[in-house]
Structures are given as structure tokens and as C-alpha cells.
Amino acid sequence: AVPAVPAVPGAAAMPGSGGILGRAPEVRIASSPAANSNITPLKMLTAYYGGRWTVKARVLTKSDVRKFSNSRGESQLFKADLKDQSGEMSATFFGRAVDKYFTMLKCGQVYTFQKGQVKAANKRYDSGDFVLSFEEHADIKAVEEDSNIPRISYDFKPLCDVANMPPETSVDVKAVVYSVGAPFTFVAKTSNKEMTKREIGLWDPSGSSGHSTMELVLWNERAVGTDFEIGAVVFLKKARISEFNQMKSLGSPAQLELHPDHEDSFLLMRKFKEFQDSGQQLASPSKNFSNSSSGQRKTIEECKQEDLKLASPGAMPGGGEKGVHKHTVVATLTSLPTDRAPYYSACPKQVESTGPASRPNDRMRICNKKVTQRENGEWSCLGGHVSDYPQFRYLCRINVLDHTDQMEVNLYDEVVRNLLGREARDYMAIFEAAHNGGEGEQTLKEVNQKMEWKKCSLVLRSSKEIWQENERVRYSVDSAQFIPLEQDARQMLGDIMASLEA
């Protein structure tokens, strides 16, 4: 135990409540040789360490407070990384210890820690072999600065290397902010809690092209409590790598240092200024989460609710209404239609394009209108074009579903061709063989199974139309990509972890 410290004249008695006391007796803990001789190095603490101990360490990182429920009721916790001359160790604060010490503990400052428990680390969430656990009876005091205790250190990795690291890996990153998204708030469907999210675009001068970018996702207090600006340098400690649709992003850093006073910071700012002066452009980093136009992943039920606000056909959008919405949905494709062909015969003639042309070749396009065969064997479309033989293009409607609802969507040539892996002309031959005498049914079934009842990430375009004097929402698939089960499981785990930490 720490020996009693002689009273200092004029000093009031110090209660052991754990507040920031900064009075003479507390300072003498750091400077007294007798007190320091009773300090236990972090590396000596194990789950089998007996007796009382006192740790003197610097707080490197501190997480946000997280609420949780278990069989004993509702509680709360936060985590911190501690460092002394011997090494580092994680600490978790529970219940009333959160109320006593969350505000008191400041990153970069030195404290003494007593009356905690040493437990085996959960390798899923903690680094090292052991962790400290503190509850309401913990005794933690602020002490004077000790230059012998190392400050926070980084093992920086360039963004081009982060892109090749596996998901759920923690990494240190130094980068420049090149885009700042506005915070947006939504209600999480699983917990029914309101959450705030913000996306920050990061840049660094790495990679074969001379620069790399990646998205940083921040939640709740960090999303609204940090004043980001383009061109600012940020150091991240233990940021977690996530992956969705084969795109990596960073999130939940243990420590976020904005405008660090470090030589690397000034070097990054200079290189970013040179990049800006070169005239090169950077695309928006957001591909996964944002509003409906930038690809936030939604359920089918959420899409339908949002599309209630679509502007009516022919109406001028206004008052927050839009004529077209875009959604990103993860859903399961059902069966292709068997009662009618999922393709049509199209006009192959070249016609002049009516849209704007960015290149000379864009002035012409293929007609693609439906054609019918005349008695003389020629094919003609409503545009008056005549051809000897048509092209075949996919066109069908199919139901897609997720755990909330289902909807009917339109699939077009490029999407179906990519899903099935064959041209519509080849599919037509298989389809007709299966419907003329029944031969080839097994082949058709095997071809269809390449996309039926498969989970896909779908980019949907929705708009209202009038059908038989009724207004309805029409959904078209702009792109579809199969989701590997392993990747989907990792993404769901990442979402769960982000929700728990938010």
C-alpha cells in the first residue's frame, strides 16, 4: 500500500472520492521516492498477482461511454489504454466508476490507479494477455507529470497498405481531411435508438498513383463534437478497418488527434497543398452510408417509406420532394419468370442519339426498340427500321425480398447478363429448347440457379408512374453484385460492433 503522506500545513484533508484533486498531498505521490518504490509496473500484473497494487500510468486513449443491459439490469462502461515505463494495458470502467472517472481522466495525463482487478483479456476485444477492471470502489488520483512515462506513440500505416489489410484489424493512420460530410441522425432498427453518423474523407500521399483516399466513419459525440475542416491533419490510433462491397473504411479510433503539433503533420499539409495545386480531382469517398442519393444501405421497408415522398409523375419536384430516389439494398433474388421469356427481340439499327454527347461516337446509339417478324421474314420496329435479324436483350420483372418486406423490380440487359454470365441470345436458345417439347428443362434450371435465391447488393432507382389510371412506384435495378457469405458476415459483425461502440 502507499504509505501515509505527512500533512501539509494549510491543506485540507483529501477525500478518496477519485476526483481531480491536484493538491499538495497528491503531487507528493509522484515525487516521493517512497511512494514510487511501491508502484507496480503494468507488465508485472497478471490474473494471479496477489495483494494490493498501485499503478502509475499515463492515459493514452479513452473510448466513449457505452450503455448495455444484462441479467442484472442496465449499466455502462468505457475503456482506456494505460501506459507506464514497462508497457501498455487496457482498462475497463463499469457502473458508477464511469460517473466518477470518465470526465476526470484526460488523455495524455498521468494518474495512480488502485483497488482494481486484473483479469484475463478477451482476445476479441482487448490486446495483450490481461486487462484492468475498475468499479465504484476504485481509487484513482491525478498526479504531476512524469517525463519517464512515455507518451502516446503511433505505428503509422499508409492508406494504400490499409486497403489490403483484413477487416477488423486495428491500425494507426496519419492523413489529411479532404472532404467533410454533414452529421446525419437516424433511428437504428435493431435497438430503436437514435444514432448520429458522419463521414470524413481522408487523403495521404501513398500508392502508385501518388495518393490514396479512404473514408473515416464517426458516431454520436465524435460525429458532432469534432470541428473538422478540409486540409486539417488527423492522427488516428487503433482505428478499426471495415469492409462493405469490397471497399475498406476506417472507424471507431481509440484516439483521434486533430491538428497534431508534429513534424509529420506539417509535411502532410505541404504534400496536400502540392496535390491541390496540381489540379487533380478527388471523388466523394462515400459509397456505403449517406442519404438516399449516395448509397446508404437500407431495408426494403425503409425504401418504401421514403418513396412515399416521391413527386408525382409530371409534377415539378419541390418542398423536399424528388422525382427519382436511389437506394442501396441487400436483398435476395427470387425466381426468374418461367411463363414468359425474360428477354425480348430488339432492333439493332444505329440511330442518332437525342441526348448530350461527350464524345463524337456518342452521337449514335442502337435503337433497341422491340421488333416483330413480318411474313417475309424481316424484322421491324415502331421506329420504321427493318433488319434481317434482331438482337436479343434481357428484360424482366422479379421479386426481391429481405427480412422486412419484398418488392418487384425491373432487371435490364446488362444487369441480368452479369448475373447469369451469358448473353441473352444464348439464353434464348436454352429457353426455347426447354419450352419446345420439354427437352432442355434441366439445362435452363441450372442456368437460372446462377442468380436465383442469391443474396445481392442492389442499387435501385425509384420513381412514380401511372399504370391503368393508378399511381405506383416503379423500381429499376441499376446494378447488382453477388455478396459472398463470408464478406456479408464480416460486414454484419462490423455493423454490430459499431453499434455497440456507438
Question: In angstroms, how far is CA 57 from the centroid of its own chain?
Answer: 33
Question: In angstroms, how far is CA 18 from the centroid of its own chain?
Answer: 37
Other Cβ atoms closer than 10 A to 329: 21
- Mean pLDDT, the chain, rounded, equals 80
335-391: pLDDT as tens digits: 998 888 999 999 999 887 654 444 444 567 889 999 999 989 899 998 899 999 999
Alpha-carbon distance of 142 to 15, in angstroms, equals 13
Per mean pLDDT, which range of 226-230, 279-283, 340-344, 348-352 is the poorest? 279-283
Q: Is 148 exposed, middle or buried (0-12, 13-18, 19+ CB in 10 A)?
A: exposed
286-313: pLDDT as tens digits: 433 333 333 467 899 999 988 888 887 7
| Highest averaged pLDDT of the listed ranges 234-238, 317-321, 440-444, 497-501 | 234-238
* pTM of this structure: 0.47
Q: What crossing angle do the helices spanning 413-420 and 424-435 adopt, rounded to 10°? A: 70
Select from 83, 125, 162, 156 the least CA-distant residue to 493.
Answer: 125
pLDDT more than 70, % of the chain: 79
Q: What pLDDT is attached to residue 500?
A: 75
Instruction: Tell me the mean pLDDT in the region 463-476.
Output: 80
Alpha-carbon distance of 257 to 254, in angstroms, equals 10
Q: What confidence tier does 441 reach under pLDDT thresholds 50, 70, 90?
A: confident
34-84: pLDDT as tens digits: 345 588 999 999 888 766 899 999 998 888 888 888 778 889 999 999 999
| HEC per residue, 8-40 | CCCCCCCCCCCCCCCCHHHHHHHHCHHHHHCCC
161-178: pLDDT as tens digits: 998 899 888 899 999 998
Cell numbers at 40, concatenated: 507496480
Cα torsion angle, 123, 125, 131, 134, sign: negative
**CB-based contacts of 11, cutoff 8 Å, min separation 6:** 23, 24, 25
Other Cβ atoms closer than 10 A to 218: 24
Alpha-carbon distance of 175 to 163, in angstroms, equals 14
Query: What one-letter code names the amino acid at 420?
Result: L
Select from 82, 268, 270, 238 the least CA-distant residue to 154.
Answer: 238
Query: Residue 467 pLDDT > 80, yes or no?
Result: no
Provide DSSP, 379-441: EEETTS-EESS-EEEEEEEEEEE-SS-EEEEEEEHHHHHHHHTS-HHHHHHHHHHHHSSSTTH
Select from 333, 260, 224, 300 the least CA-distant residue to 462.
Answer: 300
Q: Is 299 exposed, middle or buried (0-12, 13-18, 19+ CB in 10 A)?
A: middle
Q: Determine the length of the chain.
A: 502
